[in-house]
C-alpha cells in the first residue's frame, strides 16, 4: 500500500472497480454460495485500506462507460470456471444457465453503478479531457512494441490510453490489472507519457 | 369472397409435408394469433419478403419480370396495395393493376399454412411474428381442410388472409420452448457481449417459464404464454436484424428489450409462475 500512500485519489481501471464489486450470493439448495472473481478479495483489501486512509478512487467517464461489457467479460470468464460450476452444483460438462450468468452480470453492474451514487470514496472523473497529442504519442509508443512484449495481453485500447493520460495529467497513480499496460510502466514514465502505473496484483494490501 | 367456399375443399397434404426436411419442419411450429397478408405473384416462385401487419396499413408489392421469378417490396407507384380493415385485427390487402393471380392461404397444421397460386404451392411458417416461406415448388395444387378461418381472398387480385386460432395447448408450449431453445443456442455462438447475454439469458429465462407452465397449470397460462411468445418474437427480430453483422449487436441500445423483459418477469413473479431474475435460486431452474 506504500505505493499508493500520500495520494488523495487513486485511479482504477474498470476491471479493478468490477473486481471490488464482484460478489454475488447464490442460493444453492440450503446453502449460499458467494460467487466472486479471483481478484475480488485482493481488490477489496486494497479499497478497504484506501477508504480507511480517507483516499478516494476514481476512473474516467470513458472507462466507466465500458463497465457493462467489462462486467460481462469478468462474469463470463468466472462462471465458465469449473470451480464455480461445481460450487453451483453443475456436473462436469454441464454449463451454468445463461439466466444465472445474466443475473450475476446485472447484479455486479448494479453494484458498480451504485458506487457512484451511494459511496463517498468513489467518483467518476467527468471533468477529465484527454490530451490529443499525448494520446497520439501513447499510440505510437504501443504500436512500436512487438507483440511478444505484450505477451498474452491485448494492445491497450483508446480507453486504456485515456486512463494513462488521466494519471499523467492529474499526477495520480493508476492501478490496472492489465499487464499490457503495467509492464510498460517504466518506459512510459521515462517517456513522460505516464505518471505512476501499478499492477493490481503487485500492490501489497497490508 | 365467393372463392372462399372452393378453398374449403378437403384433400390431404401429407405429400407436401413429406417434402420438408426435418429442419424445415421445426420452423413450421409457431403459434400465433395474428393476421397475415400474403402477396402472391402469378409467376413468382418465392417471396423475397413478406409483411406482417399489426394494424390497417398500406403496403406495396411489385411483381417483377418473369425471368426474375421473385416478388419484391417497393414503395409508391401505381401498383400500390391498399389495406382495409375487414374485422377486428384482420386486414385485407388488395392489389391495384396487378396481373391476374389465383391463390389461397390455408392451414396445414396448427402453426403452418399453405400458400398457393396457379399450380404452385408452398408451406409457410408463422415464425416469431414473421412469415417465412419454407418450400415453394412447382407442384400441383394441394387442397386441404382449413381448420383456420380464412377471412377472405380476392381472386384476380393479390390478397389473402388467414387468422390463426387461439390454441394454447400443451403442444404450443412445447413447440415454443423448442423455438426459444434454438434461438438461445444460436446466440451462444455469437460474439460475447452484454447484449448477447441479455438476449440469450432472457430467452433461457423464458424457457424455464414455459417448463414451469407445463408442470403446474396457472389460471393466467394463456396470458403468460402470450407474453413469452411476444418477447420471443422481439428477440427473433433482433437476431434477424444482426445475423449478418453479429459483432454490431454489442453496440446496440437494447433498453426496450430490457424493459420488456422486466415486464415479463413482473408478470411471471406476480402470478407465482417463476421468480424474477433477482430473486431466482438455482433450485428454481427446471432441469431438462
pLDDT, tens digit, 9 for 90 and up, residues A36-82: 999 999 999 999 999 999 999 999 999 999 999 999 999 999 999 99
Cα separation, B182 vs B173, whole angstroms: 14
Q: Output DSSP code: residue B47.
A: B
Q: Which among B163, B191, B220 is the end of a domain?
A: B163
Q: Are residues B94 and B232 in the same domain?
A: no
Cα angle for residues B203, B206, B209 (degrees, 5° grid) = 160
Q: Are residues B44 and B152 in the same domain?
A: yes
Domain interval for residue B205: 170-284
Q: Are residues B7 and B66 in the same domain?
A: yes
Nearest to B99 by CA among B121, B122, B73, B117: B117
Which position has the higher pLDDT, B139 or B285? B285
Residue B205 has pLDDT above 90, yes or no: yes
pLDDT category of residue B14 using cuts at 50, 70 and 90: very low
pLDDT category of residue A35 using cuts at 50, 70 and 90: very high
Say which of B184, B197, B282 has its CB closest to residue A105: B197
CB pairs under 8 A between A and B: 65
Length of chain B: 288
Q: Are residues B78 and B183 in the same domain?
A: no
pLDDT score of B224: 86
Q: Say if the Cβ atoms of A28 and B282 lie within 8 Å.
A: yes
Taking the CA of residue B279 and the nearest CA in chain A, the distance in Å comes to 9
B288 in contact with A at a CB cutoff of 8 Å? no
pLDDT score of A87: 93
Say which of B188, B204, B277 has its CB closest to residue A106: B277
**Residues 6 or more apart in contact with residue B124 via CB below 8 angstroms:** B38, B50, B112, B113, B114, B115, B131, B132, B133, B134
Torsion angle of the four alpha carbons B167, B173, B175, B181, in this order, in degrees rounded to the nearest 10: 150
63-82 in chain A: CB under 8 A from chain B: 68-69, 71-73, 76
Q: 10 Å Cβ neighbour count for A157? A: 16
Q: Are residues B216 and B265 in the same domain?
A: yes
Residue A19 has pLDDT above 90, yes or no: yes
Q: Which among B108, B133, B163 is the end of a domain?
A: B163
Q: Which alpha helices (H) appear in B51-169, and where do they start and end?
A: none
pLDDT category of residue B91 using cuts at 50, 70 and 90: very low
Residue B94 has pLDDT above 60, yes or no: no
Residue B154 has pLDDT above 70, yes or no: no
Which position has the higher pLDDT, A125 or B243? A125
Q: Which among B163, B188, B214 is the end of a domain?
A: B163
Class of residue B161 by CB neighbours under 10 A (exposed 0-12, middle 13-18, buried 19+): buried
Q: Are residues B134 and B233 in the same domain?
A: no
Q: Calculate the CA B223 to chain-centre distance.
A: 18
pLDDT score of B67: 31
Question: From B188, which residue of chain A is nearest by alpha-carbon distance?
Answer: A98
pLDDT score of B218: 61
Q: Calculate the CA B157 to chain-centre distance.
A: 24
Contacts of B202 in chain A (CB under 8 A): 99, 102
Say which of A26, A72, A98 has its CB closest to residue B204: A98
What share of chain B in percent tops pLDDT 90?
21
Q: Are residues B9 and B112 in the same domain?
A: yes
The DSSP H or E segment spanning A47 is helix A40-52
| Mean pLDDT of the residues in chain B | 55
The 10s digit of each residue's pLDDT in A134-157 is 999 999 999 988 877 777 778 899
Contacts of A107 in chain B (CB under 8 A): 278
Residue A102 has pLDDT above 60, yes or no: yes
The DSSP H or E segment spanning B132 is strand B130-137
Taking the CA of residue A202 and the nearest CA in chain B, the distance in Å comes to 29
Q: Say if the Cβ atoms of A103 and B281 lie within 8 Å.
A: no
Q: Are residues B156 and B271 in the same domain?
A: no
Interface test with A, best of B187, B191, B196, B197 (most A CBs within 10 A): B197
Range scoring the smallest mean pLDDT among A32-36, A102-106, B46-50, B196-200: B46-50
Residue B120 has pLDDT above 80, yes or no: no
Q: Say if the Cβ atoms of A101 and B201 lie within 8 Å.
A: yes
Taking the CA of residue A99 and the nearest CA in chain B, the distance in Å comes to 4
Nearest to B202 by CA among A100, A23, A77: A100
The 10s digit of each residue's pLDDT in A169-206 is 999 999 999 988 998 999 999 999 999 999 999 998 88
Q: Are residues B183 and B134 in the same domain?
A: no
Strand-pairing partners, residue B103, are B117
pLDDT score of B216: 58
Residue B72 has pLDDT above 50, yes or no: no
Q: Are residues B197 and B144 in the same domain?
A: no
Return the SS3 of B117: strand
Buried b (16+ CB within 10 A) or exposed e, A186-197: eebeeeebbbbb
Return the SS3 of B21: coil
The 10s digit of each residue's pLDDT in B209-235 is 998 886 655 667 778 888 888 898 888
Range scoring the smallest mean pLDDT among A131-135, A146-150, B142-146: B142-146
Interface test with A, best of B201, B249, B285, B287 (most A CBs within 10 A): B201
Contacts of B285 in chain A (CB under 8 A): 97, 99-100
The highest-confidence range among B27-36, B120-129, B136-145, by mean pLDDT, is B120-129
Strand-pairing partners, residue B149, are none
Strand-pairing partners, residue A12, are A175
**Residues 6 or more apart in contact with residue B159 via CB below 8 angstroms:** B37, B39, B81, B92, B93, B94, B95, B152, B153
The 10s digit of each residue's pLDDT in B183-198 is 999 999 999 999 999 9
pLDDT score of A149: 78
pLDDT score of B34: 30
Contacts of A68 in chain B (CB under 8 A): 194
Contact B237, B212 (CB under 8 A): no
What share of chain A in percent tops pLDDT 70?
100
188-217 in chain B: CB under 8 A from chain A: 188, 192-194, 197-198, 200-205, 208
pLDDT score of A15: 95
Class of residue A92 by CB neighbours under 10 A (exposed 0-12, middle 13-18, buried 19+): exposed
Cα separation, B178 vs B170, whole angstroms: 12
The highest-confidence range among A134-138, B30-34, B171-175, by mean pLDDT, is A134-138
What is the pLDDT averaged over residues B237-247?
87
Q: Are residues B32 and B152 in the same domain?
A: yes
Residue A95 has pLDDT above 70, yes or no: yes
Q: How many domains does chain B have?
A: 2
Say which of B204, B250, B282 has its CB closest to residue A27: B282
pTM higher than 0.90: no
Class of residue B230 by CB neighbours under 10 A (exposed 0-12, middle 13-18, buried 19+): middle
Q: Are residues B77 and B152 in the same domain?
A: yes
Q: Say if the Cβ atoms of B280 and A99 lie within 8 Å.
A: yes
Residue B107 has pLDDT above 80, yes or no: no
Q: Say if the Cβ atoms of B280 and A88 lie within 8 Å.
A: no
Amino acid at each position: 500500500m506504500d505505493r499508493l500512500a500520500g495520494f488523495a485519489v487513486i485511479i482504477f481501471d474498470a476491471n479493478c472497480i468490477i473486481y471490488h464489486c464482484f460478489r454475488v450470493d447464490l442460493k444453492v439448495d440450503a446453502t449460499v454460495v458467494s460467487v466472486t472473481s479471483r481478484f475480488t478479495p485482493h481488490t477489496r483489501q486494497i479499497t478497504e485500506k484506501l477508504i480507511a486512509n480517507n483516499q478516494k478512487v476514481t476512473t474516467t467517464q470513458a472507462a466507466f462507460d465500458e463497465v457493462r461489457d467489462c462486467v460481462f467479460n469478468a462474469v463470463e470468464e468466472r462462471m465458465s470456471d469449473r470451480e464455480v460450476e461445481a460450487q453451483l452444483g453443475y456436473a462436469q460438462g454441464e454449463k451454468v444457465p445463461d439466466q444465472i450468468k445474466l443475473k450475476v452480470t446485472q447484479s455486479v453492474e448494479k453494484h458498480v453503478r451504485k458506487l457512484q451514487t451511494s459511496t463517498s470514496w468513489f467518483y467518476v472523473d467527468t471533468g477529465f479531457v484527454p490530451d490529443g497529442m499525448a494520446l497520439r504519442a501513447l499510440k505510437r509508443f504501443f504500436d512500436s512494441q512487438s507483440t511478444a512484449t505484450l505477451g498474452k495481453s491485448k494492445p491497450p485500447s483508446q480507453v486504456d490510453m485515456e486512463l494513462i493520460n488521466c494519471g499523467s495529467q492529474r499526477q495520480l497513480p493508476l492501478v490496472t490489472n492489465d499487464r499490457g499496460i503495467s509492464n510498460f510502466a517504466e518506459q512510459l514514465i521515462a517517456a513522460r507519457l505516464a505518471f505512476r502505473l501499478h499492477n493490481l496484483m503487485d500492490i501489497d494490501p497490508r | 369472397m365467393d372463392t372462399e367456399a372452393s378453398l374449403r375443399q378437403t384433400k390431404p397434404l401429407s405429400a407436401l409435408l413429406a417434402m420438408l426436411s426435418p429442419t424445415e419442419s421445426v420452423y413450421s411450429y409457431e403459434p400465433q394469433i395474428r393476421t397475415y397478408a400474403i402477396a402472391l405473384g402469378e409467376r413468382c416462385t418465392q417471396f423475397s419478403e413478406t409483411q406482417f401487419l399489426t394494424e390497417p396499413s398500406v403496403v406495396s408489392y411489385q411483381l417483377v419480370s418473369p425471368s426474375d421469378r421473385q416478388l419484391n417490396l417497393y414503395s409508391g407507384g401505381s401498383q400500390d396495395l391498399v389495406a382495409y380493415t375487414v374485422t377486428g385485427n384482420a386486414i385485407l390487402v388488395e392489389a391495384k393493376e396487378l396481373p391476374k393471380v389465383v391463390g389461397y392461404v390455408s392451414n396445414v397444421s396448427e402453426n403452418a399454412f399453405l400458400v398457393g397460386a396457379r399450380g404452385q404451392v408452398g408451406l409457410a411458417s408463422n415464425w416469431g411474428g414473421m412469415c417465412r416461406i419454407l418450400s415453394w415448388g412447382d407442384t400441383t395444387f394441394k387442397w386441404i381442410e382449413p381448420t383456420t378461418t380464412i377471412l377472405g381472398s380476392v381472386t384476380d387480385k393479390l390478397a389473402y388472409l388467414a387468422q390463426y386460432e387461439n390454441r394454447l395447448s400443451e403442444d404450443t408450449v412445447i413447440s415454443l420452448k423448442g423455438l426459444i431453445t434454438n434461438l438461445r443456442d444460436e446466440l451462444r455462438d455469437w460474439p460475447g457481449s452484454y447484449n448477447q447475454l441479455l438476449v440469450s439469458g432472457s430467452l433461457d429465462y423464458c424457457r424455464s417459464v414455459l417448463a414451469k407452465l407445463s408442470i403446474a397449470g396457472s389460471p393466467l397460462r394463456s396470458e403468460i404464454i402470450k407474453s413469452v411468445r411476444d418477447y420471443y418474437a422481439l428477440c427473433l427480430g433482433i437476431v434477424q436484424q444482426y445475423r449478418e453483422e453479429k459483432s454490431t449487436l454489442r453496440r446496440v441500445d437494447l433498453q426496450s428489450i430490457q424493459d420488456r423483459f422486466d415486464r415479463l418477469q413482473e408478470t411471471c413473479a406476480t402470478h407465482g409462475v417463476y421468480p424474477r431474475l433477482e430473486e431466482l435460486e438455482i433450485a428454481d431452474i427446471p432441469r431438462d
